[in-house]
Structure 1
Amino acid sequence: MQHGKLLLIDDDRLQAQIVRQQLNSFRSSVFEFEWASTYEEGLERLLSEEHTACLLDFQLGPRDGLALIREAREKECAVPIIFLTADSSPDIDIEAMNAGALDYLVKGEISPAMLERSLRYALKLSETLAELKRLATRDALTGLLNRREFNRLLAEESERSHRFGRPFSLVLLDIDRFKSINDRYGHPAGDSVLRETAERLQGLMRKVDRLARFGGEEIVALLVELDQEQAHDVAERMLEAIRSTPYAVEGQAAGISVTTSAGVAAMPGKISTAKELLSAADDALYRAKRGGRDRVESA
């Protein structure tokens, strides 16, 4: 049996009573019910991400549900939304789907069985879309963002920095002598080291930061609202998290010691483009390698 929490955003009290009654008639699902009667209250509750699904009315006083869907999606809300309207026009159907709704129901035609089916369909489709997004944006080995998604986020952050003059930094890390780990302990051990390195670094990141596998044994961190000096301090903590505890490797009772080197660069300043920022971080990383490894260098 399917369980969840359903949010209805609708300014009609009668519609709220109807939906509550229909939920009680479900045959194979149990949903806790919550009702928001205004655009502002509905958006706030929707963005809390506490709900399994949302039913959203087209007309919300002077504003409409299409705008609410777009605003929620812009804020990366992943709650599946089913659009409700008294208008059976196919144009509204298309608009709702384009805005991000996963299904569309016409008021007055909704039965408990139809609503239950729609919720089941929307939840399944939402899971499928989330998995497709994960596969498209995540590195399969480490679970970190992949390089393509990182480049997209870097371009966005670079644009924001130009527009508002806000700082951000990159920390580009490389596992020292990674080839020797693969040669000595085998590629499964190397994969294990990469996965655990990702886990250790993720533990240091704030919610606003982004961590990606940049390629091979390189990992890059995008640190929002941090200047170069602050990012250098973060990089030092990242290196300490790697060196502080030996890595468990099958067949090695004592574990193996791993170190990393890092290059740091920031915007805005002398660096004005995302390409220049990456190049500066890479140059700093190269200096860290030449300087003896297990160290941080800044652009």
Structure 2
Amino acid sequence: MPIESLRLLLVEDNDLDAMFITRVFQRSTVIQAQIERASSLGEALEMIDETEFDVVLLDLGLPDSDGLQSIRSIREKVTSIPIVVQTGDDRVETGFAAIEAGAQDFLSKNDLKDHLLTRLTIHAILRQRQMLELQEASLLDSMTGIANRRRCDIEFRRRLEMLSQGGTPFCVAIVDIDNFKLINDSGGHDLGDEVICQVGNELRDRCRPGDLVARIGGEEFAIIFADTTVDELGKLQQRHRRAIEALDFQREGISVTVSIGGTCVLSSDNKRSAFRRADSALYAAKKGGRNQCKIETVVRPAINVHIA
């Protein structure tokens, strides 16, 4: 998508340089830029908190920050904004170090020409957009459009880190489509794919804000229930199970159900140990007759408690 206008944060403590850069964008016939200026890193971080910018044009010589630390500080605040560095240091090594620190591009102040500055700024925005699109695509399941196993792994690690730092509890569950081989045998792989897509999207639509549904294999899905205790888990699992049971595939003889096994995650867990308990609970649900939910707690006698 072409860029015709943008909101630019200029982080520059030198008044003459700031005036020159502002005039460059004012003279541009390619793009309209709304420029806001910060004279220090601290001021820039406050403005980023309050305003959504399309790009940051950053001077590395700020009064309250030392060189590349300015880039890192902005990146810690927000990852999506492209940063173009301007520096009085002509060394190529400085520019490459800026990119390694998180900038999209760099430009020596000795090369601040109209067409070059505007072109670098536009290219930085386009590259950042492309990178974010690729990152997002790498975290989605190509068939269903919901999160994939990699996205699930990332979210689990994030939640576990929060929990280990005294954060809120969370739970995980594995959802498996019952008798999926019979569905494939009766209607072929097209029907099987349709069932997987509808189940995945229904599970996602039933989630609360903060929860995550991911397809982790064939006809199997994982759910991460954010801010959830084991006492709340049963009701949430049943809500998902009933939603799938109520799906209408508008095909004669097609009835789809799922079995769900879940567990509450401990700070001492890793992904393997937590999902092993969830998988054990799923096995108990399958063995118990399918179309049901089970929970396995850390204390083993609770494993086969049926959720009504």
Single out whichever of 120-129 and 272-281 deviates more from structure 2.
Answer: 120-129
CA contact (8 A) 2:175 2:222 kept: yes
**Structure with greater strand share of residues:** 1
C-alpha deviation, 1:212, in angstroms: 1.8
What corresponds to 1:259 in structure 2? 257
**AA in 2 matched with 1:297:** K
Give 1:257 deviation, angstroms. Answer: 4.2
Residue of 286, 290, 295 corresponding to 2:292: 295
Moved more, 272-281 or 236-245: 236-245
**Partner residue of 1:274 out of 246, 263, 271:** 271
Deviation at residue 64 of structure 1 after TM alignment: 4.3
Residue in 2 that maps onto 1:151? 153
Structure 2 distance, partners of 1:41, 1:192, is 52
User: Which digits, 9 at most, give the CA deviation of each residue in 1:66-108, with x for residues without a partner?
Assistant: 3343344345621221112222233321221111111001224
- Partner SS, residue 277 of structure 1: helix
In 1, the alpha carbon distance for the partners of 2:190 and 2:67 equals: 50
Q: Does 1:2 align with 2:3?
A: yes
Larger radius of gyration: 2
Amino acid at match of 1:88: D
> What corresponds to 2:139 in structure 1?
137
* Equivalent position SS for 1:186: helix
Match of residue 107 from structure 1: 109
Identify if the C-alpha distance between structure 1 residues 53 and 204 changes in structure 2 by more than 3 Å, giving closer, same or farther: farther
Give the match for residue 172 of structure 2. Answer: 170
CA distance in 2, matches of 1:189, 1:32: 52
Matched, 1:17 2:19: yes
1:247–1:255 Cα contact (<8 Å) kept: no
Deviation of 1:236 (Å): 2.3
- Give the match for residue 222 of structure 1: 224
Output the CA distance in 1 between the equivalents of 2:282 and 2:48: 43
Distance in 2 between the 1:72 and 1:196 partners?
A: 40
Identify the match of residue 60 of structure 2 among 58, 61, 82. Answer: 58
Change (3 A) 1:289 1:31: farther
* Preserved CA contact (<8 Å) 2:146 2:201: no
Note closer, same or farther for the CA distance 1:74–1:139 as it changes in structure 2 (3 Å cut): farther
Question: Per the alignment, in what secondary structure is the counterpart of residue 137 of structure 1?
Answer: coil
Separation (CA, whole Å) in 2 of partners of 1:167 and 1:85: 46
For 1:71 and 1:257, the matched residues in 2 are separated by 54
Normalised TM-score (structure 1): 0.84
Deviation per residue, 1:224-254 (Å, 9 max, x gap)? 3322222333222222332334246xxx4x8
How far residue 211 of structure 1 moved from its aligned partner, in angstroms, is 2.8
Secondary structure class of the residue paired with 2:145:
coil
Spell out, residue by residue over 1:194-249, the C-alpha distance to the aligned partner (whole angstroms, 9 max, x if none): 2333333333445543332111111112233322222333222222332334246x
Shift of 1:21: 1.9
Please show how residues 199-218 of structure 1 align to structure 2 within 5 Å.
Answer: 199-206=201-208, 208-218=210-220
SS of the residue corresponding to residue 125 of structure 1 reads helix
Q: CA 1:160–1:121 in 2, change beyond 3 Å: closer, same or farther?
A: same
Q: Partner residue of 2:200?
A: 198
Shift of 1:14: 4.2
Q: Distance in 2 between matches of 1:101 and 1:161?
A: 31
Structure 1 window deviating more from structure 2 (289-298 vs 47-56): it is: 47-56
Structure 1 residue 41: Cα displacement: 4.1
2:128 to 116, 126, 129: 126
Aligned CA RMSD, in angstroms, stands at 2.9
Q: Which secondary structure does the structure 2 equivalent of 1:88 belong to?
A: coil
Residue 256 of structure 1 deviates from its aligned partner by 5.0
Please name the residue that 1:30 is paired with: 32
TM-score when normalising by structure 2: 0.81
Q: Tell me, which stretches of 5 or more residues in structure 2 are unaligned?
A: 297-308
Q: Does the 8 A contact of 1:9 with 1:36 survive in 2?
A: yes
- Separation in 2 of the partners of 1:205 and 1:75? 28
> Aligned letter for 1:185?
G
- Tell me: CA distance 1:64–1:151, structure 2 relative to 1, closer, same or farther (3 Å): same
Deviations 1:122-173 (A, max 9, x none): 1232233224323433321123332234334434433443343642211211
Partners of 1:61 and 1:255 in 2: how far apart?
Answer: 72
